[in-house]
Amino acid sequence: MRSVIGALFRKSPFEALHRHMQKVRECCDQLKPLMEAFMSGDRDLIRRKTKEISDLEHEADIIKNDIREHLPHRLLMSVDRSDVLHFLNQEDAVADSIEDIARLIEMRETNVPSELKGELMELVDKVMHTITSLESATFELKSLAQSSFSREEEKKVSDLIKRIDRSEYEADIVQQRSARKLFSLEDKTDLLSVVLLMKIMGELGSVADHAQNTGDRLRGIIAR
């Protein structure tokens, strides 16, 4: 390398992390349309949405691998390397869970009991809250780096992460309520549908969980 200083600087991961979050968000944006298609029983739309989600999840994977490949051990960063990698894992798990939900919906023509539809949409909304809160928190990474992790910025991100925690808690409550509602309908619903609907609600809860875990990892990144 002709210029030593040129070789000294490496691209920081923040811009790529931003892109990964955007991709995960795009994936999550398909959740509500997917659930609506599920509830209306539109098999064609379900198939299309599943393919879109799958493609977006794959694109997120590519970004994730790219980040991992450019984080060698000998890098001195303003954040901890393993914190970043764990953060990335959890963030990617969000997209993975969305894809799992799509597959569960697509693999069988399941009828959603009309009494459950309200709870289910509420659960989806709460899960989307966790995602939008996570997005806001993650997008602050750039300002964090710009300010060299100033106290002001750290507090701002900390507050945003607390919002994720709160949304996840609320999602948990709705998930419980939905499960109870489903069991109250068990006499009217076939066993396989109950099993599948439970799995789908469980995966929705997982999305919120992964979002919260990601936020937790973000706390670790900031603190160092």
Partner 1 sequence: MGLESGEMIVSPVLLVAIFAGFYMAVNIGANDVANSMGTSVASGALTLRKAVVVAGLCNFVGAVLLGVYVTDTIRKGIINPAYFAPNPNLLIYGMIAVLLGAGGWVSIATYLRLPVSTTHSIVGALIGFGLLGAGIQGIQWKVVGAIILSWFISPIGGAGISYLLFTIIKRKILDSPSPLAAAKRVGPFFVGLVLFVIGLAVVYGVSKRLLGNPHFSYVLGIAGAIAIIGGLASYIFLGRYALGENDEYEEMEELSKPLQVLSASYVALANGANDVANSIGPIAAILTVMETQKVTMQVPVPIWVFGLGGIGLVIGISTWGYRVMETIGRKITEVTPTRGFAAEFGAATAVIVCSRLGMPVSTTHASVGSVIGVGMARGIGAINLRVVGRIGISWLVTLPVSAGFTIVIYKVLSALLPQL
Using the rule CB under 8 A, is 85 a contact of partner 1?
A: no
Q: What SS3 class is residue 60?
A: helix
Find the farthest-apart pair of alpha carbons in the chain and give their distance in angstroms, rounded: 76
Within 149-178, which residues bind partner 1 (CB under 8 A)? 149-152
What is the rounded CA–CA span in Å between residue 88 and residue 62? 12
C-beta of 44 vs 152, nearer to partner 1 = 152
Question: Binding pattern to partner 1, positions 185-214, x when CB under 8 A?
Answer: ------------------------------
Residue showing tokens 């970043």? 84
Instruction: Locate 15 and state its tokens.
Output: 């811009």
Task: Mark the segment that binds partner 1 (CB under 8 A) among 12-20, 54-62, 132-140, 163-171.
Answer: 12-20
Which of 124/157 has CB closer to partner 1?
A: 157
Decide: is 3 part of the binding site for partner 1 (CB under 8 A).
yes
Structure tokens at 19: 């892109």
- Residue 15: CB minimum distance to partner 1, A: 9
Q: How far is the CB of 176 from partner 1 (least distance, A)?
A: 42
Structure tokens at 139: 């997008």
Shortest Å distance, C-beta 153 to partner 1: 9
Q: Does residue 69 touch partner 1 according to CB under 8 A?
A: no
* Shortest Cβ 92–partner 1 spacing (Å): 21
The Cα–Cα gap between 13 and 22 comes to: 14
Binding segment for partner 1 (CB under 8 A), chosen from 36-44, 57-65, 70-78, 103-111, is 70-78
HSE of 167, CA atoms in CB hemisphere, 13 A: 29
Compute the distance between CA of residue 118 and CA of residue 172 in angstroms, rounded to an integer: 16
CB-side exposure of 84: number of CA atoms within 13 Å? 25
CA of residue 1 relative to chain centroid, distance? 40
Nearest C-alpha neighbor of 153 from the set 144, 145, 141: 144
**Site track for partner 1 across 125-154, x = CB under 8 A:** ------------------x-xxxxxxxx--
- Can you read off the two tokens belonging to residue 51? 């393919």
Which residue, 14 or 38, has its beta carbon nearer to partner 1? 14
User: Measured from the CB atom, is 114 or 148 closer to partner 1?
Assistant: 148
* Interface contacts to partner 1, rule CB under 8 A: 1-14, 72, 74-78, 143, 145-152, 224
